[in-house]
A and B are shown apart, each in its own frame.
Chain A
Amino acid sequence: MSDALTALDPGRSVVIEACAGSGKTWTLVSRIIRLLLAGTQPGDILAITYTRKAAREIEERLQGWLGMLAVADDDAVRHFLCERGLHADDEMLMQARALFERLLSARPGLTINTFHGWFSSLLSAAPLSAGLGGLQLAERTARLRDQAWRVLTRRAGARPEGDLAQSLRWLFAYAGLTGARETADVLIDRRAEWEAWKAACGGGMEGVQAHLRAFFGGDAEDPVLALAADGPVREAVADLARLLGQGTDAQQKKAHALLEASADRDAPRYLALLRSALLTQAGVPVAFKPGRSLEKRGVAERAQSLFSQVVSRLDQCMRACADRHAWAVNVHGLMVAEAMLDAYDQVKRAAGVLDFGDLEWHASQLLADAQTGPFIQARLDARYRHVLLDEFQDTNPLQWQVLMHWLDAYAPDQVQPTLFVVGDPKQSIYRFRRADPRIFAHAREAFGQRFGAADIRRNETRRSSPAVVSLVNALFGQLETFEGFSAHHTTQHDLPGRVEVLPPFGHDAPPEDAAAPSGLRNPLLVPRAAIEDVRRTNEADALCRRLRDMAGRLCVRDPHTGEDRPARYGDMMILLRRRTGLAVYEAALRAHGIPYFGASRGRLLETLEAADLRALLGFLAAPADALALAHVLRSPLFAFTDAHLLLLTEEGVEPWDALRRADADAAPELRRAATLLDGWRLASAHLPVHDLLDRILHEGDLLARYAGRVDELAWPGVRANIEAFMELALRVDSGRYPSLPRFLDELERLRVEQDESPDEGLILGDDPSRGRVRVLTVHAAKGLEAPIVWLADAAAKPRGDTGARVVLSWPPGQSAPEHLSILLRKEDRGSVREGLLAGSEAAAAREDANLLYVAVTRARQCLFVSGVEPARGRLDDTWLERARSAVQSIPNAVQDDAGGCSTSFGELCWTEDAGACQPPPLSRVEPVAPPVGARRARQTMNDAQIWGSGLHAWLEALTNGEPAPPRPAGLDARQWNELEGAARMLIARPPLRRFFDPALYRQAQNEVEFVLTDGRIGRMDRLVEFDEDIWIIDYKSGFSESFADGYVEQMRGYADAVSQLLPGKPVRAALLGPDGELRQIV
């Protein structure tokens, strides 16, 4: 069986390492279909992938295929199955067609989820006693962290002499407020690892501290003292000084310094003197040459060896010092970080939420437990028989643990699950989310042993042209960090393609007349000379020009139809390593009129249009905010000129007061603004923010006015952002306890907290045949592809790790970490963690290469690589340079004069411009409907009415044989009793008995409703039929003599109706008052 079919075999476990473009999703979804065809219940299948987006895509693909099969003819179904290794008989055809509905109606259904999503469902099935009930997953935690920090500092303040306070101040002093806060936060994202580590150290802080003490050499003697007490070294220093004293002037000077040092008994000073004599500022040994004069004296060798001896001892001491310092950082840092976790827990508990770290930790705890593990499986009714794991290279150690616990919960006598694992360690780019690609190799091993999983490796892409593939091979074939790479092949033998690496973009030549001689510029006349960076602008400009050239002219192969056709913008993708500089590329695209989908995540609130709305809401909440008012007035909503503003800011008057006073003579703009703003200000106190904004949009004619102000290219984005802002308001609003100030606080928080800021709106409604260029980070592009890919900003260096972080070693497959500590600054790297840090640097370098691999493998046909000249340092190890030398190593590479190079495969065709014209702008015709609906005046009953209806209710109940009716809110128990008494008295009154005693009438009904022929509805309180006549009785609560007059008409109508309905007997109608008087009307 070929590897491809083995991978689909429902009975086999497999681990597939599959290169980019090799069709991972195809394989995974095909396997699910084969599983279903083999009779597997959907509920027995668990598929896990890395992102929700990917999970949705798998689901979509699966349903799409099944939907297709459900209605396809025999040939199509046969062909589909054949591609997946099945030779279908008629019965299988039918089965395949039934899968669609089978899947939709399956209970429990097929699970396609992320690890986190799956963990959530595990937690929701946890036993009550686990105490996890009702907790919500908080995806955004910045606010909770801030609260926790406040709790923490308050705790420290409450006990200023306590350990926590002291450690916190130690950190303040060492790393400042920011550094201290970073340190405090450091364990929050590593919650699960930390807990595992603590457990491994014996369960508590003491164990951790003891471990650290030993690890960092805390038990050894203070290295500075040890150095000072090291007699032989002191001797050697003195000897060295003596020898140098015989040398050149410079050497004599050094000799002096050394001599001074060797005599100094104060340990720290001794060290400091030695350092300054023998080490450079950066801590490396100074250049030491004995020189001729010492040679002449024959002591050169000895001097050299003394120097080396002292320096190496010094180095040892320095390292030991750094380790000691690192120890101190950890002692204080972990104390604070642990306290922070505690405070954070408290805050989360109060808010009833948990975060991702908790999710993982609880999931692993629950499943590790011999009781709760099976419990959860049972409650979820999920003893999966087939587990499919996608993007497995992105798994982190905790997730791996949970998975293993889950698998361990299968009793040995139970049917064991089959496993399908697919991934590509070459595409592992989520180290920052703690992914560990080593787990992949480990899993291959482990699953091979446990489930006999086949080891399948695929290096054949179905995506890229040979041109791109040859670049991939040239780039990664030799790369040392990229171990385990084997050359790629492609099934797209005849797909023409091209790879081009552009020369780096530099500054323009400075303009001739740049220097301003006078020294001071007149700012009214001359803007500040642009010292702005034009390198990237140049790059972006060149990029846009090339893209525009290709659109409509360069032929690409349509991925769906396989036909060649002119390229559209939708076929192009711009990739960036990072978001820095993104705005420049987007601005260039706008300037060139190229439609695009931005990658500007998290920038909504920074846009001017969102700032306008914020200013407006801010003003409504605090009308004294003159700046906010001026901002709003200058926005298109009011489009004030500066002259208008001058009018409103005369000395001594608040602008808002000045505006409100705008009288009939004032400019109409002013009056419009005053009226609208005042209306909204009043409304803002009551209306939810969304409704307020909607009113503003409507009454302020906001969209039309914005459309009138921004240019055509920018407009779709502006509009999308305004809509995104509305949506944000709606979302924040539907939360609990809405108010404008709370909304504004929330906005401010979102704005400040980078990771949580809302995204810009999505631009819609464009001609799909033209499409939009996608601008993406490489991370976001994972899983996507395009005929034309442009990797921009390729000379950027990866961002090194900075700030406080956790140093962690957790070898794959082990149940707990081997090491965990905090690293706050470069200076406290020390020596004992050298190996660990080097390991993580190697991993970072590998990941950087992976990222490049992901970027270039997105391209189907054309790949461009460009970048800017670095401001400092050299291009060397940049992607740009790597790509350039890779291209050059390809035999048919072409070098151009400007320093760029390219390689091609086959012939890319160009055609006449197919004319990418824009659809004519439509203007919106709203159907104008008449007003509909009306507010009813609120009805409140007066006391008499309440009394009357109470009596009514009692009469009803008593005559129906029902228990006491429910007491209305307006009556107290005493009044209620009185009413009961009154009702009973009425019924018992001798003159009325015949109407209420069943022995005295033929039949009676209460509350008889009837419809008259004209459609009107009547309701009589009681209808009593006697042998000779029929009585209609209505209870009335009026007291006055003449009250009955008002009902005469109505009662006549009732009587008429009844005589029509029950012909044959005379009908009488009467009103029964609260006094017990019966007033006959008919």
Chain B
Amino acid sequence: MPVIDTVLLPPGPDFFAGFARLLIGRHGDALRACDLVLPSFALAGRVRAALLAHAGTAVFMPRLLTEATLAARWSGDVDVDPRARRLLSLVDMLRRQGWLGNADLWTIARELLELSDELAEVDLPDEDELAALFARTHALSDCGALSLEARLVSAVWQSDRIGAPGHARARQLALLRAAASATRPLVVLLDRLAPVPRWVLSWGERAAVTVVRAQRPTQGTPLARALQAAWPVEGDEAPPLFLRQVAMGDMRELSRRVQVFSAQSLEQEARHAADCIAGWLVSGMRDIALVAVDREAARRARALLERQQILLADETGWKLSTTRAAATVDAFLQCLASDGYFRDLLDLIRSPYIAGGLDDDGHALAIRAIDEWVVDANHVEGLHALLADASRALPAGPAAGLIRALASAFAMMPTGKAPASFWTGRLLAALDALGARARLAGDLAGVQVIALLDTLVADSANVVTAFEFAEWRKWLNAEFEQALFRDDELDSPVVLTHIAATRLRHFDAAYVIGADSDHLSAASPRGILAHDGLRRELGLADAREAARQLQEDIASLVLCAGRVVFSWQAQRDGETCLPAAALQRLDRACVRSGLPSIMTPVPVQADPPAAVLPAFSAAPSLPAERVPQRISASALADLVACPYRYFARRVLRLGVRDEVEEVLGKGRVGEQVHAVLHRFHRAHPRLQDAPFDALVDDLGAAIAGSFAQAVAANFQEYAWADRLHQRAAAYVHWARTREAEGWQFEAGESDRERALTLSDGASLVLHGRIDRIDRSAGGHALIDYKLRNAKAVRASLESDEDTQLAFYTLLHDEDVVSAAYVALDEDSPIDVAHPAPVDAAVVLGGLLDDMFVALRAGAALPAHGDAAACSHCQMRGLCRKDWRS
């Protein structure tokens, strides 16, 4: 007959004093022969201090343990089935059984494993009975899907029993083993509502066991009464608030300790938290908790605190997958998955962990060289071709080293199916090849990443099933999601923690961030075990219990901490957020007692004092030597549209960097078309001489040829290729007509320069490339191809700001009789001719003279583009026009 003695103690500042009194009272010196199992080691310090205080002199401690450490002592060399392996084998098993169609087995397997862990402590009936239980609780009979689930649960649970146990079950077994050979008296401190664990009961059969439970008092102090008024311990059984005793004095006592703030934004909430905590520190408080209910807000608050060198000891931890170190591994795998898609590659090479042999500068150089090369080559994807080309193009320097490392790393990876341990092992080898392992070892997360991979290799060693790359990556991802990364090298009295971890701990003050009804609520179970009725039958906690636990945790925090501030964001993305249920109850209790509502908006946070900056201007004048001496048609267009833009692009020579184009942009298509037409006319200087069809075939073939590579690389290029190809005949027809009218092709893609002597004696060189020059008896015609439709071309010519044709006329400078654009994005080409190019050239010459003389004399280049000019201008960050209107 187990002898279990249960003692209830009220949580609060005196909890541990009472606990010490109890321990010493019961065991005295013999404490050294006792085992004391605490919920966590975070309480050990308080236990020691309380024992010492109570004894008043030196004192023996009981042996301090937690369930985890006790289990570790008793696990021995019993085989445990590591999670990673369980997952692999379960997926394998499910796949072979084929019960679940083409569902995502990884997700299902994960859910089943979680479930089997949850069931580690309970006894399940046999398969049929379990199915019946499922049916009964769901009030559903003859439901195939339900009985399938019951069968799955049963199978997974059985295999945990029969085969090597999973982690949770192994721990359970170890504890039972400890209990089975127990000799020492045991004291267990329980801070949860859960029933006394089985192993404790079994311990009681062999030695004395005392279970100490924290239980909130409902009477005695004003605080206890106030909490009872707001959050009755009986839960739903309590009479309604209106009938409860809610004394104003009690509530006032509570509202002195507890404040509730609503914030309008994440920033406001985080800032308030940071200010509060800093304020507490200033006022001399020490032990402070930031309870991260909303992790994003908490993270923001932490950053704000760190600015003031207030560092937080993080007890919550982050998924390993959210670390930069894990991101490096993923970047490598992503490159593999996307076959070297350039963005993925450029992401990978930027990781600080790779290129172990390079220093920071070398790494920066390598990144830059590879960046530029990828753009030049317009490499979109194709890992092996890319690495091969790159190693040819970048034969030396830091980039070459990096490319070599990448090549050998990628070469390590299997190309077909392979067992998980093999994949993982190769991944580690690849990281070595990248020189990454050593660098990863240099930081905390990196060490954990490597350790995880090592463990995975070992854990999956004897699963022989071969997986595709994508499957293995899913498994690996799941592990990275599962693993927790904690920076435990920080000591600080200010801790970042979660609500359950505050149980029974003392804080001078605590800030609960994110106390809205979504975040500060009990997690609801999902999936197979979501049904409350079923949970109760299986002996698991149901939703009601989870909610009560949360309420008790909050109450205990209020009891144990000197001050508690809650805050929540009253709205997010334009939607109202309600405060957590507990806070609403608290608020109503306050109002019921006659006090005002406890909820207050976060006080207005004022702006920082504005810094004094030099006056702003965007109308530079140039030192004479920086005034350009050459000008092209497009530079002139910049100057006409907006002098500041000209300054930025042509004087400062700033421009948007080229980018890899996944689909050929209009620019590149235009270049190809220019080149094709040029070659075509060079090959056929007199179109009359060849038969029409031959010309069409020739041009068509040239177009097809020029797009062949693009089309092979990307099917979308057919959009232009086909369109242009179809128009070959129309073009030939147009060109022949033109020739018949007396215009003879003379030159194409013709680079020209012409120096103008300005009135101040300096000279200005005009330069540019004229797409095509035709000649007739009367003189020359200049042609500029536009890959646009005629309407657009006409509109820009008529906008009277068009200077291109005038510029070419001025540049060509010999008997120009006509200048025209040819709109090519039409079923057949359409000429858009300048009405009076020669006159325009004369006027332009005068304007150039005016402007460049003035510039040399110090005239300013004002930023006064109009809406049209600015709409696609890349210099708005420099002229900062947005802020000047």
Closest to B238 in A: A101
A623 at the interface (CB under 8 A from B): yes
B426 to chain A minimum Cβ distance, whole angstroms, is 20
Once A518-B843, A963-B74 are accepted as A-B contacts, the answer to whether A70 and B547 lie under 8 Å apart by CB is no
Is residue A514 contacting chain B, with contact meaning CB distance below 8 A?
A: no
B452 is an interface residue with CB less than 8 A from chain A: no
Chain A window 185-215, contacts with chain B (Cβ cutoff 8 Å), 1 for yes, 0 for no: 0000000000000000000000000000000
Contact sample, A vs B, 29 pairs, CB 8 Å cutoff: A56-B577, A70-B240, A71-B241, A124-B527, A128-B527, A135-B104, A156-B715, A172-B723, A173-B726, A349-B104, A381-B531, A522-B851, A524-B860, A608-B880, A608-B883, A611-B876, A622-B371, A690-B303, A704-B610, A708-B612, A736-B319, A737-B330, A739-B331, A765-B605, A931-B310, A934-B311, A964-B77, A1012-B58, A1057-B58
CB-based contact A707/B611 at 8 Å: yes
A630 touching B878 in the complex, CB below 8 Å, given contacts A125-B530, A739-B350? yes
Q: Which of B347, B480, B490, B527 contacts A935 (CB 8 A)?
A: B490
Q: Which of B75, B310, B347, B573 has the most CB of A within 10 A?
A: B347
Is the beta-carbon distance between A642 and B617 smaller than 8 angstroms?
Answer: yes
CA distance A195 to B574 in the complex (A): 34
User: A923 to B608, Cβ gap below 8 A?
Assistant: yes
**Residues of B with C-beta under 8 A to A1013:** 52, 57-58
Are A176 and B719 neighbours in the complex by a CB distance under 8 Å?
A: yes
**A734 interface neighbour in B29, B139, B299, B612, Cβ under 8 Å:** B299
Between B106, B140, B266, B303, the greatest number of chain A beta carbons within 10 A of the residue's beta carbon is seen for: B303
Beyond A622-B371, A936-B491, whether A642 also contacts B242 by CB under 8 A is no
> Which of chain B's residues have a CB closer than 8 A to the CB of A643?
620
Docked-complex contact B145 and A128, CB < 8 angstroms: yes
Task: Choose one: B240, B266, B368, B620; the contact of A646 (CB below 8 Å).
Answer: B620
Chain A: CB-nearest residue to B112: A128
A687 to B303, CA, bound (A): 12
Q: Which residues of A contact B296 (CB under 8 A)?
A: 727, 730-731, 734
Interface residues of A in 27-62 (CB under 8 A from B): 52-53, 56-57, 59-60
Residues of A within 8 A of B60 (CB): 1008-1010, 1061
Q: Are B655 and A627 touching (Cβ within 8 A)?
A: yes
| Interface flag for A703 (CB, 8 Å) | yes
Q: How many residues of A contact B (CB 8 A)?
A: 177
Would you call B847 and A375 a contact (CB within 8 A)? no
B578 touches A60 (CB 8 A): yes
Q: Tell me which of B459-467, B553-561, B862-870 binds A.
A: B862-870
Across-interface contacts of A522 in B (CB, < 8 A):
847, 850-851
How far apart are the CA atoms of A52 and B360 in the complex, in Å?
49
B623 CB contacts on chain A under 8 angstroms: 646
**Could you tell me which residues of chain A, from 698 to 720, have a CB within 8 Å of some CB in chain B?**
698, 701, 703-705, 707-710, 714-715, 719
- Interface flag for B694 (CB, 8 Å): no
Q: Is B110 an interface residue (CB 8 A)?
A: yes
The residue in chain A whose Cβ has the minimal distance to the Cβ of B526 is A124
* Chain A nearest Cβ from B307, distance in angstroms: 5
Contact B610 A177 (CB under 8 A): no
Interface string of B449-486 (1 = CB under 8 A from A): 00100000000000000000010000001001100000
Residues B843 and A710 in contact, CB atoms below 8 Å apart: no
**How many positions in chain B have a CB within 8 Å of any CB in the partner chain?**
209
On whether the beta carbons of B32 and A1011 are closer than 8 Å, the reply is: no
Cross-interface CB contact of B657 among A611, A625, A687, cutoff 8 Å:
A625
User: Of the candidates A371, A736, A929, which one forms a contact with B282 in the assembled complex, judged by CB atoms under 8 Å apart?
Assistant: A929
- In the complex, which residues of chain A have a beta carbon less than 8 angstroms from the beta carbon of B371? 622, 624
Is there contact, CB below 8 Å, between A739 and B324? yes
- Is there an interface contact between B490 and A936, defined as CB atoms closer than 8 Å? yes
Interface residues of A in 321-368 (CB under 8 A from B): 349-350, 352
Is A949 at the interface (CB under 8 A from chain B)? no
Q: Provide the bound-state CA to CA distance between A128 and B618, in Å.
A: 64
Question: Does A560 count as interface, using CB distance less than 8 angstroms?
Answer: no
Residues of A within 8 A of B242 (CB): 70-71, 94, 97-98
Question: Which 6 pairs, one residue from A and one from B, show the smallest C-beta to C-beta distance?
Answer: A963-B76, A134-B107, A933-B492, A131-B103, A933-B311, A631-B877
**Is B631 interfacial (CB 8 A cutoff)?**
no
Q: Binary interface profile of A, 403-440, with partner B (CB < 8 Å = 1, else 0)? A: 00000000000000000000000000000000000000
A649 at the interface (CB under 8 A from B): yes
A929 to B279 alpha-carbon distance, docked (Å): 7
Question: CB distance A532 to B866 under 8 Å?
Answer: yes
Find the A residue at minimum CB distance from B313. Answer: A933
Q: Which of B103, B490, B611 contacts A128 (CB 8 A)?
A: B103
Smallest CB-CB separation from B347: which chain A residue?
A741
Given known A627-B655, A649-B652, A1005-B32, contact A612–B58 (CB-CB < 8 A): no
Q: B575 an interface residue at 8 Å Cβ cutoff?
A: yes
B295 interfacial by beta-carbon distance below 8 Å = yes
A615 to B138, CA, bound (A): 57
Contact A527-B866, Cβ < 8 Å, known A131-B103, A1011-B48? yes
Q: Specify which of A70, A374, A631 is in contact with B878 (CB 8 Å cutoff).
A: A631
Interface hits, A895-945 → B, CB 8 Å: 919, 921-924, 926-938
B609 part of interface (Cβ distance < 8 Å): yes
User: Which of the candidate stretches B146-154, B204-212, B674-682 sits at the interface with the other chain?
Assistant: B146-154
Is B108's CB under 8 angstroms from A133's CB? yes
Task: Give the chain A neighbours of B855 by CB distance below 8 A.
Answer: 524
Per-residue A-contact encoding for B134-162, CB less than 8 Å = 1, 0 else: 00001110011110110010000000000
Complex contacts, B327 vs chain A, CB 8 Å? 736-739, 742
Are A1011 and B542 within 8 A (Cβ)? no
B residues near A1005, Cβ cutoff 8 Å? 32-33, 63
Interchain nearest-CB distance for A694 vs B (Å): 4
8 Å CB interface, B838-866 against A: 840, 843-844, 846-847, 850-851, 854-855, 859-862, 864-866
Instruction: Determine if A929 and B281 form an interchain contact, defined as CB atoms under 8 angstroms apart.
Output: yes
Chain B binder among A103-111, A221-229, A850-858:
A103-111
A168 at the interface (CB under 8 A from B): yes
Give the residues in chain A near B111, CB-CB below 8 Å: 128, 133-134
Q: Does A1066 contact B (CB under 8 A)?
A: no
**CB-based contact A929/B310 at 8 Å:** yes
Q: Which of A545-553, A632-640, A818-826, A1068-1076 contacts B (4 or more CB under 8 A)?
A: A632-640
Q: Is A975 an interface position by the 8 A CB rule?
A: no
**Interface hits, A828-866 → B, CB 8 Å:** none
CA distance A612 to B880 in the complex (A): 10
B51 part of interface (Cβ distance < 8 Å):
yes
Q: Which residue on chain B has the smallest CB distance to residue A531?
A: B866
User: Given A70-B592, A379-B138, is A57 in contact with B847 using a C-beta cutoff of 8 Å?
Assistant: no
Among B383-391, B502-510, B580-588, B816-824, the stretch in contact with A: B580-588
Distance between A1063 CB and nearest chain B CB, rounded to angstroms: 10
Contact A94 B243 (CB under 8 A): yes
The answer to whether A646 and B878 have CB atoms under 8 Å apart is no
Contact B140 A520 (CB under 8 A): no
Interface membership of B95, Cβ < 8 A: no
B543 on interface, CB distance cutoff 8 Å: yes
**CB of B709 closer than 8 Å to a CB of A:** no
Interface presence of B217 (CB below 8 A): no
Contact with B along A109-133 (1 / 0, CB 8 A): 0000000000000001101111111
| B58, B104, B608, B715: the one within 8 Å of A165 (CB) | B715
CB distance from B370 to the nearest CB of A (A): 11
Please determine whether A63 and B584 come into contact, CB atoms closer than 8 angstroms. Answer: yes
* Complex contacts, B415 vs chain A, CB 8 Å: none
Which of A57, A745, A933, A969 has the most chain B CB atoms closer than 10 A to its own CB?
A933
Q: Is the CB of A615 within 8 A of B877?
A: yes
- How near does chain B come to A484, taking the closest CB pair, in angstroms? 32
Quick check: is B82 within 8 A (CB to CB) of the other chain?
A: no
Chain A window 964-984, contacts with chain B (Cβ cutoff 8 Å), 1 for yes, 0 for no: 111001000000000000000
A-facing residues in B308-345 (Cβ within 8 Å): 308-313, 319, 321-324, 326-328, 330-331, 343
CA of A349 to CA of B878 in the docked complex: distance in angstroms? 44
Give the Cβ gap from B623 to chain A, nearest Cβ, in Å: 7
